Amino acid sequence: MLTENPRVVFAKRPGNSIPIPGEHVIFESSHSTIDLDGVPLNGGYLTKTLMLSPEPFMRERMRELSVPSYSTHAVLGAPLVGFGLVVVLRSEKEGIKPGDRLYGLTPWEAYTVQPYIEGRANYNPAEAPDYTFDVDALSLQIVPDPKGAFPWTRYFSVLGAPGLTAFCGFEGCADAKPGETIWVSSGASAVGMVVVQLAKAKGLKVIASAGADSKVEYMRSLGADVSFNYKTTPIAEVLKEHGPLDIYWDNVGGKSLEVAIEYSRLHARLIMCGAISEYALPYEQRHGIKNTNMIFKKRLRIEGFLVPDLAPRLAPRFYAEMPLLLAQGKITAKEYISEGLSSGPEALAAVLREGGNEAVGKPIIRVALD
């Protein structure tokens, strides 16, 4: 029997805009069907998508083909690919059985024969720039049933890619010492909320910013000593009063980085995790940083990182420590759920907007209950 297989398709490159629902990213309710009992598995396994995670890196993958970056390009006409939680329906693969749940990269569709190849049979890793990583490396992995110790949604926030990003960058680059001061921009984002808590646990004074008052409250509840809305309070005013900074965690880039350089202490570390304010801007509209001379004068260390660089060294510690801290209530998270695959295009657009939306928590799209 054929079952409809709704999906969210990458329809058009968004150029210098965020991907607009219905134009660049389209929900298709009845484009394709699948025979759940009979579809050939070819040694793989069939999964049902339970939840999906809209994340900024998905925008980067939509860039023009001529623009190099750290990731491969998304494929036009194919479903978007992002982190998801899936359950296995049938399997021919050793070690994977029906009922297993896996977290990792998966297409934005209801059912998938895995492993999924994103219409990229022609992709040649040898031709990619040497700072590109292949998203296929982040394939699905079985995740244990938390058995009530924490909700499954935590696999998208503190225990998922955002938590791993925060842990790798903080442990691998920050060189943080108790008593130091850190500013976390986009401190209520999925990555930011974990950085705020790791920094507090280490005994740092934490300044955190976000683009909505609801998020300001949330960052305060996570322990941020100074929590502010960058849209209503000038950043420089806050850093002048509560700085100087020993560490800046940059999720935003552009003007924020310039202000952080201005209010950095001698030998401060500036950790470049992301630059979300610039992903959709053409080169000439990006903010030109005017105080680069302060980098040598203050002997600043500015360091960019990507999770795949640091994960081989730090992921074993992350997977040993984080679930325990979570179960003990020593680290927490919040997720914000939107219902149905059809909500996917708007959920993705929302994470790419300044202020995101007023909703607090890591955005997740619930595709199916079980």
Ligand X SMILES: NC(=O)c1ccc[n+]([C@@H]2O[C@H](COP(=O)([O-])OP(=O)(O)OC[C@H]3O[C@@H](n4cnc5c(N)ncnc54)[C@H](OP(=O)(O)O)[C@@H]3O)[C@@H](O)[C@H]2O)c1
**SS3 state of residue 284:** helix
Does 19 engage in binding with ligand X (CB under 6 A)?
no
Residue closer to ligand X by CB (options 326, 351) is 351
3-state helix, strand, coil in the chain (%, to 5): 30, 25, 45
Out of 91, 189, 197, 338, which residue is the one contacting ligand X (CB under 6 A)? 189
Does 82 engage in binding with ligand X (CB under 6 A)?
no
Contacting residues for 28 by C-beta, under 8 A, at least 6 apart: 6, 7, 8, 9
CA distance 168 to 228: 25
Out of 25, 86, 110, 210, which residue is the one contacting ligand X (CB under 6 A)? 210
**Ordered DSSP codes for 224-267:** -SEEEETTTS-HHHHHHHH--EEEEEESS-THHHHHHHHTEEEE
Out of 19, 21, 56, 243, which residue is the one contacting ligand X (CB under 6 A)? 56
Q: Nearest approach, Cβ of 2 to ligand X (angstroms)? A: 35
Q: Which positions from 233 through 252 interact with ligand X, judged by CB under 6 A?
A: 251-252
Question: Near ligand X by CB under 6 A, which window of 22-30, 109-117, 291-299, 347-355?
Answer: 347-355
Tell how many helices (H) and how many strands (E) occur in the chain.
9, 17
Q: Nearest approach, Cβ of 246 to ligand X (angstroms)? A: 20
Count the Cβ atoms, other than its own, within 10 Å of residue 231: 12
| Phi and psi, residue 268, nearest 5° | -65, 155
Residue closer to ligand X by CB (options 23, 354) is 354
User: Are 354 and 277 in contact, with CB atoms under 8 Å apart?
Assistant: yes
**SS3 state of residue 43:** coil
Q: Nearest approach, Cβ of 284 to ligand X (angstroms)? A: 17
Question: Near ligand X by CB under 6 A, which window of 75-83, 93-101, 117-125, 348-356?
Answer: 348-356
Count the Cβ atoms, other than its own, within 10 Å of residue 39: 18
Out of 78, 190, 204, 349, which residue is the one contacting ligand X (CB under 6 A)? 190
Number of residues that bind ligand X (CB under 6 A): 31
Does 307 engage in binding with ligand X (CB under 6 A)?
yes
Does 71 engage in binding with ligand X (CB under 6 A)?
no
Q: Which residues bind ligand X (CB under 6 A)?
A: 55-57, 162, 165, 186, 188-192, 210-212, 215, 251-252, 273-274, 276-277, 305-307, 351-356, 362
